[in-house]
A and B are shown apart, each in its own frame.
Chain A
């Protein structure tokens, strides 16, 4: 009896939590398989589910979707570039700070932390002006570089925490065997850090893929923007084709969700452990 009561109480929390979490996502899915009329009718399941919206999106048959594949490609290229370059910047810095005890390492770490604590929307304004000075506005490198700036502080922090945990004897043994700093980095450090590197790389990649504000400030040419910006452009019309907007949005939201689940193990241990060191 007591057991059933506990289960009932748990369900009483679980069901509202599930509804709360899934409702907006379900609404998006519902739109993507409905015609415009049915989507606007408020039904919880369409009478005639259809894949027509996906066909329209894939064939770019609407003027809002003229560059769908290109914009999807832009999102992908930018996300991968940010993931890889953030890894390069953050791994070298974390290695220098944590393993080589580089002079000035402490200062660099504090600079990184400070950057991490600047609210992103506040940095966006000066970043926009600076990109203008550098002549990078409307160039995809502007977004890539901005996202590296935003992703690398946290990446350095997480990698530094993880590499502090590697035993110091490893470095000493390598030094005694006459290894150069680069050999230590390549043959000892990188292999041992692989799980954290995966977590950080995926973190930076998802951050860039999901970014809206910086993308919409720094890029404006329809052919260069990411899918996030393209979705925002749908709102410029009064009679936005919401069913197509939601279909595109669903397609845009699927890859990061899939990537997150594939790398969940690395992400949760790597990122939550570093997020709040209390």
Chain B
């Protein structure tokens, strides 16, 4: 997948040969370790993978698999709903966390936990919380309403929603941290001046906070989209793709084919995700490699 963009990068032509000083030699020599890592573990695997994905039959077979179409829809829903929810929540919560109170400081310390701890134990914990018989959520529902709660992970859209909640739970702290950093970079004088002029909270947000944060917000959203496309854990560890392979997203579907020893299909799935990934990558590369 990366080779598609590579030629453009290599357009930087080496200049005319000069006499090499030790500084030049060391410069190149110190690049070698990473260059090796890149060639051996990125260029070769990706090239090999694309070569495996060259057969048109793989795509025909893939499009015939009903799981594939479902996964594409799930992936799009996941991206649109989960990311917008998460980024808006992060933007709003950052406004809460910049209040200076001792207890808010403590809360912000705890708030980081979902991001700092590994996914697997926490997601499995949520998985059990959602267990229809023994999970704490349905037991509470039963105590409060005397009715049985839903079978959370046994319905396509309910299970996918839960996977999205897991995703938001896990990555919200990180993006809130980014948004807090963005808010703290806004000069306080702007708000003071606005306060003197009698601007309402909404006006302050609309005319000061948002204009200063919108670039950060957009970049974060794009970056988050790229990462969310590769979010295997939230779906796989919660639903395992079930019920009946209805909650797969492209990331888990690729791995599913790999586990079934259908590497051609796994690679074809990934190639099919490229129209989603490449524009985002292009945008981020343009933004960061200035």
Map CB proximity to B onto A199-215 as digits: 1 under 8 Å, 0 otherwise.
Answer: 00000001001101100
Chain A proximity of B169: nearest CB distance (Å): 7
Contact (Cβ within 8 A) A27 B128: yes
Residues of A within 8 A of B22 (CB): 180-181
CA distance A123 to B1 in the complex (A): 9
The digit string for B126-142, where 1 denotes a CB below 8 A from any CB of A, is 10110000111001100
Contact B45 A256 (CB under 8 A): no
Task: Given A118-B2, A253-B121, A256-B116, check contact A149 B41 (CB 8 Å).
Answer: yes
The closest CB in chain B to the CB of A22 belongs to B110
Contact digits for A28-56, partner B, Cβ 8 Å, 1 yes 0 no: 10010000000011101000000000000
Q: Could you give, for residues 39-70 of chain B, a 1 whenever the CB lies within 8 Å of some chain A CB and a 0 otherwise?
A: 00110111011001000000000000000000
Question: Is residue A62 within 8 Å, beta carbon to beta carbon, of the partner chain?
Answer: no
Q: Is the CB of A130 within 8 A of B48?
A: yes
* Cα distance A112–B44 in the bound complex, in angstroms: 15
A21-B111, A119-B251, A209-B118 known; A27-B37 Cβ under 8 A: no
Q: Which residue of B lies closest to A7 (CB)?
A: B101
A5 within 8 A of B: no
CB distance A217 to B258 under 8 Å?
Answer: yes
Digitize A167-185: 1 where CB-to-B-CB distance is under 8 Å, 0 elsewhere: 0000000000000111001
Evaluate contact between A260 and B112: CB separation under 8 angstroms.
yes
Q: Given A24-B126, A181-B26, are A129 and B121 neighbors across the interface (CB < 8 Å)?
A: no
Q: Using known A-B contacts A27-B129, A96-B30, A256-B118, determine if residue A114 contacts B285 with beta carbons closer than 8 Å.
A: yes
Q: A25-B122, A101-B27, A121-B255 are in contact. Are A111 and B229 (CB under 8 A)?
A: no
From the candidates B28, B118, B258, name the one contacting A212 in the complex (CB within 8 A): B118
Contact residues in A for B128 (Cβ distance below 8 Å): 27, 31, 242, 246
**Are A111 and B122 in contact (CB-based, < 8 A)?**
no
Is A72 located at the chain interface by the 8 A CB criterion?
no
Closest approach, in angstroms, between the C-beta of A106 and any C-beta of chain B?
6
- In the complex, what distance in Å separates the CA atom of A263 from the CA atom of B223? 25
- Residues of B in contact (CB 8 Å), total 101
One digit per residue, 1 when the CB lies within 8 angstroms of any chain B CB and 0 when it does not, for chain A 77-103 equals: 000000000001110110111001111
Quick check: is A133 within 8 A (CB to CB) of the other chain?
A: yes
Cβ-based interface call for B147 (8 A) = no
Q: Is B73 part of the contact surface with A, judged by Cβ < 8 Å?
A: no
Q: Are A231 and B120 in contact (CB under 8 A)?
A: yes
In the bound complex, residues from chain A placing their C-beta under 8 Å from that of B219 are 276, 278
Asked whether any CB of chain A lies closer than 8 Å to the CB of B163, the reply is: no
- Residues of A contacting B: mostly: helix
Nearest Cβ distance between residue B170 and chain A, in whole angstroms? 10
Q: Chain B contacts of A90 at CB under 8 A?
A: 34
Flag whether B117 is at the interface (Cβ < 8 A): yes
Q: A25-B117, A146-B41 are in contact. Are A129 and B49 (CB under 8 A)?
A: yes
Chain A: how many interface residues by the 8 Å CB criterion?
98
- Picked from B99, B136, B232, the residue with its CB within 8 Å of the CB of A42 is B136
Shortest Cβ distance from residue A8 to the other chain B in the assembled complex, whole angstroms: 13
Tell me if A104 is interfacial: C-beta within 8 Å of chain B: yes
Cβ contacts under 8 Å, A257 to chain B: 113, 116-117
CA of A261 to CA of B15, assembled, Å: 47
> Does any Cβ of A come within 8 Å of B157's Cβ?
no
A249 at the interface (CB under 8 A from B): yes
Question: Known contacts A112-B38, A130-B48; is A278 also within 8 Å of B216 by CB?
Answer: yes
A187 within 8 A of B: no
Set of chain A residues within 8 Å of B233, measured between Cβ atoms? 212-213
Residues of A contacting B34 in the complex (Cβ-Cβ under 8 angstroms): 89-90, 92-93, 108, 112, 152, 156
| A179-201 with Cβ < 8 A to chain B | 180-182, 185
Complex Cα spacing A112 to B39, Å: 11
Q: Write the nearest CB–CB distance from B252 to chain A, whole angstroms.
A: 8
A residues near B10, Cβ cutoff 8 Å: 107
Query: Is residue B284 within 8 Å, beta carbon to beta carbon, of the partner chain?
Result: yes
Residue B220, interface by CB 8 Å: yes
Tell whether, in the assembled complex, residue B121 and residue A246 are in contact, meaning their CB atoms are under 8 Å apart.
yes
Q: Which residues of A contact B42 (CB under 8 A)?
A: 111, 115, 118, 123, 149
Please list 30 pairs of residues, one from A and one from B, whose beta carbons are closer than 8 Å in the complex, sorted by A's number.
Answer: A14-B103, A21-B110, A21-B111, A27-B136, A41-B139, A44-B136, A89-B34, A95-B30, A96-B27, A102-B31, A108-B35, A111-B9, A114-B2, A114-B9, A117-B280, A121-B229, A122-B1, A123-B42, A124-B254, A124-B255, A125-B267, A129-B45, A157-B288, A206-B116, A234-B124, A249-B121, A253-B121, A257-B117, A276-B178, A278-B182
B interface residue numbers (CB < 8 A to A): 1-2, 5-6, 9-10, 12, 14-15, 22-24, 26-31, 33-35, 37-38, 41-42, 44-46, 48-49, 52, 93, 96, 99, 101, 103-104, 107, 109-114, 116-122, 124-126, 128-129, 134-136, 139-140, 143, 169, 173, 177-178, 181-182, 215-216, 219-220, 223, 226-227, 229-233, 236-237, 240, 251-252, 254-255, 258, 263, 266-267, 270, 273, 277, 280-281, 284-285, 287-289
Known pairs A42-B139, A149-B38; list 5 more (Cβ under 8 Å): A23-B129, A41-B134, A113-B285, A125-B255, A212-B233
